[in-house]
Amino acid sequence: MAEEQSMEQFKGQPRLPEFAAPRCYDLFLKPDLSACTFAGAAEVTVDVVAATRFLVLNAADLAVDHASISFKNQESSEELRPFEIVEVQEDEILVLGFDRVLPLGKAVLRIRFTGTLNDQMKGFYRSVYEYNGEKRNMAVTQFEAADARRCFPCWDEPAFKATFRIKLEVPSELVALSNMPVIEEKNDGPLKTLSFQESPIMSTYLVAVVVGLFDYIEAFTLDGIRVRVYCQVGKSNQGKFALDVAVKTLDLYKEYFVVPYPLPKLDMVAIPDFASGAMENYGLVTYREKSLLYDERYSSASSKQWVAITVTHELAHQWFGNLVTMEWWTHLWLNEGFASWMSYLAADSLFPEWNIWTQFLDDTTSGLVLDALSESHPIEVEINHANEIDEIFDSISYDKGASIIRMLQSYLGAECFQRSLASYIKRFAYSNAKTEDLWAVLEEESGEPVKDLMSSWTKQKGYPMIYVRLKEHELEFEQSQFLTDGSSGNGRWIVPLTLCCGSYNTQKKFLLKTKFEKLDITDLIGSANGKANLSGKSSQGNSERFWIKFNIDQTGFYRVKYDNELAAGLRYAIEANKLSATDRIGILEDSYALCVACKQILSSLLSLLDAYREEVDYTVLGHIVTISCKIANIVADATPELADEIKVFLIILLQNSAEKLGWDPKEGESHLAVMLRGDLLTALVLLGHDMTRNEAVRRFYIFLNDRNTSLLPPDTRQATYISVMQTVSVSNRSGYESLLRIYRETDESEERVRVLSSLSSCPDPDIVLEVLNFLLSSEVRNQDAVYGLRVSREGRETAWRWLKENWDYISKTWESASLISDFIDYVVSPFSSKEKAEEIEVFFASRTKPSFARTLKQSLERVRINARWVQSIRNDYSLEEVVKELAQKKE
């Protein structure tokens, strides 16, 4: 009740009170690009729905003109002025106290304010670009998650949807964009005033404004929606690929969701300074340059794919997120998990030759790895303060989110799933939804117990490992939480389990609900036994062997541990080429994970790897590459005396395919072959393969003299640059200096990132230190510094010292852009001793902040996991013998 309300009660609350809600914002903004300031005025139509003397809304880093604030009820048209105005900094709220209870119904709240166009890549900020050799500022917004309040006072929560009428006053020669099209333009000498059409109701985090110099290209969807890509002046041809993808994707999503794209236009803009990869602002999607621009000559195949995935991801949000919005950040995964999953759906339809669903396992793997930490969190995570939100844009929300959607889709069937999604979008359009709202629709449409099934995956962290044993004709299952640190969690899941037996034609699926279960498979064995039997000897005298693969095509978010007999069967199935690429990846990744968790010895992982000698699939080899590099790293710590021999074995594994692909692109070869070439060469370089290193350096020097040489296309440059850095030391700096020159001369963002990602792979710690300091210089944009943190093993100690010494500067510069988590993860996670973990913990004891607290704990956990793994490798007495045997097997 009004009498009981006091200013104090609004402090320290996770959410704004609901007694007044915005309906329409008339927002005026006037940025001053040279002074880096802005002035603004908001007239908010608010609906007072419960008796109150107070209005509580968000504002941060703004100078609010207290004298300008007025409140005018629409009916009585009496103007009230607050007698008490309090800005609570910690809570980022503005509380307006009136001397009487506000009349119920609609009123207009007026506030004027000013602010700074900051350099923090959030709120209303400045980004710097070059035009005619001169540095210029552009003004850009980035509001997700909770930074609209840094641009104008507002109810900055996703559930407070309102319409927006935006008006900008900007220099006449500049392009000014917002969510909606311009409806009126007034020119007044050097300045112009643009009024944008009123938007449909939407959340504040999706509001956007961009002001700067751009060229654009445009195209239209089948429905006549105008789509434009805005790029740096002179570069609009680099927007063609993204434009084409966007137009096709809008048509595709319209069909999939059975709801048309809701706005009259879509603009996509490349921004030179950008904190994340891209942002789905309604009708005005902003991108980091390398996520939008693609150039036939200068871009790699993997960049092309990244552009496609990013565009399809952001456009999926136009429905999933923008039209139907999560009710609160706890349900962020509904946005991000779905957009990620949808982006693969779209990419698969546009580029079937990419086998993108096989590549999706890269994401599932990241999700599984993060979620196997004790310091993981449930998909639905409690959020109590705005500063906790940034950190949940992580692999749990994105990758685990997308993976459990894939799991559910595969359980319910694609058609039923699509029908349900379309009906969910229709039901919650222009509104908000919680996770359970989605389950309810799916449950209704499918008749399956979706809510129970899925809650077990979204409300608790972690996932199960299913241990399977075959006893005669019965499979025995045991589910337990999989934790890499070796501890036992007490999670239980409802697991949509699938298996196939001897062939993909013999399948079974069922829900595993309890800890132990048994399944009689006499029938399956019967049908498989015609061809093969359990002991490896076929009843018909041929050499086929019986095998069972669980988690068919890895659509389930769990791991499987097989008893020895079943594992041997799978090894046979791999060698005999019976399994799909996804299943081959699954078996290897599960085995690797068990190994890191010390539930399986390294020698048996190496033996399994040996079964992949004939592997030719891009994605499978990609996983072999990643795993190989991790093994090489850990053995360098654990058993340096065996490290070289293990590397030899790993090189043998990759060499065949690498030789087949060679260094030079071949006429008409596939997208996947091109990507694989780069990845394999990079891995061989990192594993120390001399021939590859020498060839790389040879090509590099030709390239230095002739940047247009066909000997070094973008796809093999990363491998080459890393090779060059392997030759660099304080006494032989020429390769390093050449790379810096390439960095300084290029105006391709992709190329700059490529150079940065190579520099710190140098084995000389003194050079690593120079590189790290270079990252802090004005030559590297803040958005790009993290690419330089992939430090060589020899440089990791230097990197840690550097992080400590520069912590104040680093935390100040990157914390608000929330890239600080990457700094911590990259520098801390590579260590592998308990003592180091303790030392790091001591350093951060007094320095932890909510924005990276979880990442720090996760990184420390990783260090301890590495330490435990090192120990177990040292105790693996069969290792030496197995390695010798494998390395000798060569041809």
Residue 873 has what DSSP assignment? H
Nearest to 392 by CA among 850, 76, 827: 850
Q: Which does 260 bind (CB under 5 to 8 A by kind): ligand BES, Zn ion, none?
A: none
Q: Which tokens hold the place of 627?
A: 């795993």
Q: Does 327 bind ligand BES (CB under 6 A)?
A: no
Phi, psi of 240 (to 5 degrees): -60, -45
DSSP string for residues in 706-731: -TT-TTS-HHHHHHHHHHHHHT-BTT
C-alpha to C-alpha distance for 152 and 800, rounded to whole angstroms: 39
Residues from 467 through 496 that contact ligand BES (CB under 6 A): none
Closest approach, Cβ 140 to ligand BES, in A, equals 13
Closest approach, Cβ 334 to ligand BES, in A, equals 12
Closest approach, Cβ 339 to ligand BES, in A, equals 6
CB-CB contact of 473 with 517 (8 Å): no
Which range binds ligand BES by CB under 6 A, 313-321, 559-567, 598-606, 701-709? 313-321
Q: Which does 289 bind (CB under 5 to 8 A by kind): ligand BES, Zn ion, none?
A: none
Closer residue to Zn ion in complex, CB, 147/336:
336
Is 385 one of the annotated binding-site residues?
Answer: no
Class of residue 34 by CB neighbours under 10 A (exposed 0-12, middle 13-18, buried 19+): exposed
- 35: Cβ contacts below 8 Å, ≥ 6 apart: none
C-alpha to C-alpha distance for 338 and 336, rounded to whole angstroms: 5
Which range binds ligand BES by CB under 6 A, 223-231, 295-303, 308-316, 687-695? 308-316
Closer residue to Zn ion in complex, CB, 339/587:
339
Closer residue to ligand BES in complex, CB, 6/384:
384
Q: Does 278 bind ligand BES (CB under 6 A)?
A: yes
C-alpha to C-alpha distance for 673 and 659, rounded to whole angstroms: 12
* Amino acid (1-letter code) at residue 549: K
Closest approach, Cβ 425 to Zn ion, in A, equals 16
Per-residue binding letters, 497-536, with ligand BES (x by CB under 6 A): ----------------------------------------
Closest approach, Cβ 321 to Zn ion, in A, equals 7
Closest approach, Cβ 309 to ligand BES, in A, equals 5
Half-sphere exposure of 739 (CA within 13 A, CB side): 33
| Total residue length of the chain | 891
DSSP-derived pairing of the beta strands 431-433 and 324-326 = parallel
DSSP-derived pairing of the beta strands 163-171 and 284-288 = unpaired
Closer residue to ligand BES in complex, CB, 821/829:
821
Closer residue to ligand BES in complex, CB, 392/627:
392
- Choose, by CB under 6 A, the member of 209, 293, 309, 532 that binds ligand BES: 309
Residues from 54 through 93 that contact ligand BES (CB under 6 A): none
- Choose, by CB under 6 A, the member of 273, 314, 615, 695 that binds ligand BES: 314
C-alpha to C-alpha distance for 308 and 684, rounded to whole angstroms: 28
Is 377 one of the annotated binding-site residues?
Answer: no
User: In which order are the strands placed within the sheet that holds 209-212?
Assistant: 123-131, 134-142, 209-212, 175-178
Q: Does 583 bind ligand BES (CB under 6 A)?
A: no
Nearest to 767 by CA among 720, 717, 807, 729: 729
Closest approach, Cβ 436 to Zn ion, in A, equals 21
CB-CB contact of 757 with 720 (8 Å): no
- How many positions of this chain bind ligand BES (CB under 6 A)? 17
3-state class (DSSP) for residue 115: strand
Catalytic residue (choose from 314, 445, 615, 751): 314
- 711: Cβ contacts below 8 Å, ≥ 6 apart: 663, 664, 699, 702, 703
Is 314 known to be catalytic? yes
C-alpha to C-alpha distance for 304 and 754, rounded to whole angstroms: 15
Closer residue to ligand BES in complex, CB, 242/339:
339
Q: Does 276 bind ligand BES (CB under 6 A)?
A: yes
Closer residue to ligand BES in complex, CB, 336/553:
336
Q: Does 231 bind Zn ion (CB under 5 A)?
A: no
CB-CB contact of 288 with 278 (8 Å): yes
CB-CB contact of 263 with 301 (8 Å): no
Closest approach, Cβ 327 to ligand BES, in A, equals 16
Closer residue to ligand BES in complex, CB, 144/679:
144
Q: Does 279 bind ligand BES (CB under 6 A)?
A: yes
Q: Does 144 bind ligand BES (CB under 6 A)?
A: yes
Closest approach, Cβ 107 to ligand BES, in A, equals 32
Q: Which does 272 bind (CB under 5 to 8 A by kind): Zn ion, ligand BES, none?
A: none
- Choose, by CB under 6 A, the member of 53, 167, 228, 317 that binds ligand BES: 317
Q: Which does 276 bind (CB under 5 to 8 A by kind): ligand BES, Zn ion, none?
A: ligand BES
CB-CB contact of 549 with 499 (8 Å): yes
CB-CB contact of 408 with 422 (8 Å): no
C-alpha to C-alpha distance for 594 and 502, rounded to whole angstroms: 24
Q: Does 157 bind ligand BES (CB under 6 A)?
A: no
DSSP string for residues in 443-508: HHHH-S-HHHHHHHHHSS---EEEEEEEETTEEEEEEEE--TTS--------EEEEEEESSTTSEE
- Choose, by CB under 6 A, the member of 199, 310, 322, 692 that binds ligand BES: 310
Closer residue to ligand BES in complex, CB, 498/782:
782
Which range binds ligand BES by CB under 6 A, 334-342, 479-487, 841-849, 865-873? 334-342
C-alpha to C-alpha distance for 9 and 223, rounded to whole angstroms: 51
For tokens 């009487």, what's the residue? 100
Nearest to 570 by CA among 652, 464, 470, 463: 470
Closer residue to ligand BES in complex, CB, 336/615:
336
The gap between the terminal CA atoms of the chain, to the nearest Å, is 83
User: In which order are the strands placed within the sheet that holds 93-97?
Assistant: 54-58, 93-97, 84-88
Closer residue to ligand BES in complex, CB, 334/879:
334
Closest approach, Cβ 356 to ligand BES, in A, equals 13
- Choose, by CB under 6 A, the member of 313, 752, 754, 864 that binds ligand BES: 313
Q: Which does 309 bind (CB under 5 to 8 A by kind): ligand BES, Zn ion, none?
A: ligand BES
Which range binds ligand BES by CB under 6 A, 54-62, 80-88, 305-313, 567-575? 305-313
DSSP-derived pairing of the beta strands 175-178 and 182-188 = unpaired
Residues from 389 through 428 that contact ligand BES (CB under 6 A): 390, 393
C-alpha to C-alpha distance for 765 and 854, rounded to whole angstroms: 29
Q: Which does 377 bind (CB under 5 to 8 A by kind): ligand BES, Zn ion, none?
A: none
Closest approach, Cβ 157 to ligand BES, in A, equals 15
Residues from 307 through 346 that contact Zn ion (CB under 5 A): 336, 339
Phi, psi of 121 (to 5 degrees): 60, 25
- Choose, by CB under 6 A, the member of 336, 380, 437, 861 that binds ligand BES: 336
For tokens 């210029």, what's the residue? 136
C-alpha to C-alpha distance for 401 and 415, rounded to whole angstroms: 20
Phi, psi of 731 (to 5 degrees): -90, -5
Q: Does 145 bind ligand BES (CB under 6 A)?
A: yes
Class of residue 426 by CB neighbours under 10 A (exposed 0-12, middle 13-18, buried 19+): middle
Is 66 one of the annotated binding-site residues?
Answer: no
Residues that bind ligand BES (CB under 6 A): 144-145, 276-280, 309-310, 313-314, 317, 336, 339-340, 390, 393
Residues that bind Zn ion (CB under 5 A): 336, 339
**Sequence ranges of the binding site:** 313, 317, 336
**Sequence ranges of the binding site for Zn(2+):** 313, 317, 336
Q: Which residues are catalytic?
A: 314
